[in-house]
Structure 1
Amino acid sequence: MNTATTVRWHTVCPLGRLDLDRGVAALVDGVQVALFRTTDGLYAIENRDPVTGAYVLSRGIVGSRHGVPTVASPLHKQVYDLRTGDCLDLPGVCVTRHEIRCRDGMVEVRLRQEE
């Protein structure tokens, strides 16, 4: 018997609601997600800062390091790669990255399932 679950896309908001180079928090199927719109594209990571445990990454400083789109935690300034979720300052520390897309002008997120 196949017990695989279907992972679905959740509509979050119109694309125009996301300001360029700013983050916003969204509750997606009970999970706090930080959404970012940059000149490079759309990114979605978990909103929880793994260093402090606070749900604040959506309020972080958006930037780049060596061409990599990043967000710096507003608390202790650790920098995270928005493409992968990896912390660029603390090896082995990361945040979950979720899939994000824009379809028909609406931002959609598909939560990454824990393995």
Structure 2
Amino acid sequence: MNPTSTLDWTAVCQLHRLDPDRGAAALVDGVQVALFRTGDDLYAVDNLDPVGGAYVMSRGIVGSRAGVPTVASPLHKQVYDLRTGRCLERPDVSLRRHDVRCRDGLVEVRLRPAD
């Protein structure tokens, strides 16, 4: 995916390129981001697994727990809330989440600063 910047939002891909309930990786202003499309919702988090230290979150298993959209790390299977980035098993661990939107069929991401 070849992103193009417009102000602080970066165009990443057409919505139809994102498979439902699967992840996709994109490079946004030098940061690897994992994008997820679940139903009508879009999520963007860092692609870096904070426990395993590898850029693999886009390959994680998408699911839900009690109605909460989640992604499980493909390395050690920690499960993260896609809405907040918080790890459900380890509250001291989280993924940085980013703003994501779809405008005219184009998915755009705005990076959030690191905590």
Instruction: Give the TM-score normalised by structure 2.
Output: 0.92
| Displacement of 1:114 | 2.9
Unaligned runs of 5+ in 1: 1-6
Which digits, 9 at most, give the CA deviation of each residue in 1:12-34, with x for residues without a partner?
Answer: 00000000000000000100000
Kindly report the root-mean-square deviation, in angstroms, between the aligned alpha carbons of the 2 structures. Answer: 1.0
Count of residues in correspondence between the two structures? 109
| Displacement of 1:92 | 1.1
Unaligned runs of 5+ in 2: 1-6
For 1:60 and 1:40, locate their aligned partners in 2 and report how far apart those are by CA, in whole Å.
Answer: 19
Partner of 2:79: 79
Partner of 1:3: none
Q: Among all aligned residue pairs of Structure 1 and Structure 2, give the percentage whose two residues are the same amino acid.
A: 73
In structure 1, what residue type is equivalent to 2:52? T
Ranges of 4+ aligned residues in structure 1 off by more than 3 Å: none
Matches within 5 A, 1:1-115: 8-114=8-114
For 2:45 and 2:17, locate their aligned partners in 1 and report how far apart those are by CA, in whole Å.
Answer: 18
Partner of 1:4: none
Report if the CA contact (8 A) 2:24-2:58 is conserved: yes
In structure 2, what residue type is equivalent to 1:102? C
For 1:56 and 1:26, locate their aligned partners in 2 and report how far apart those are by CA, in whole Å.
Answer: 12
Instruction: Give the TM-score normalised by structure 1.
Output: 0.92
Q: Classify the secondary structure of the residue corresponding to 1:58.
A: helix
In structure 2, what residue type is equivalent to 1:86? R
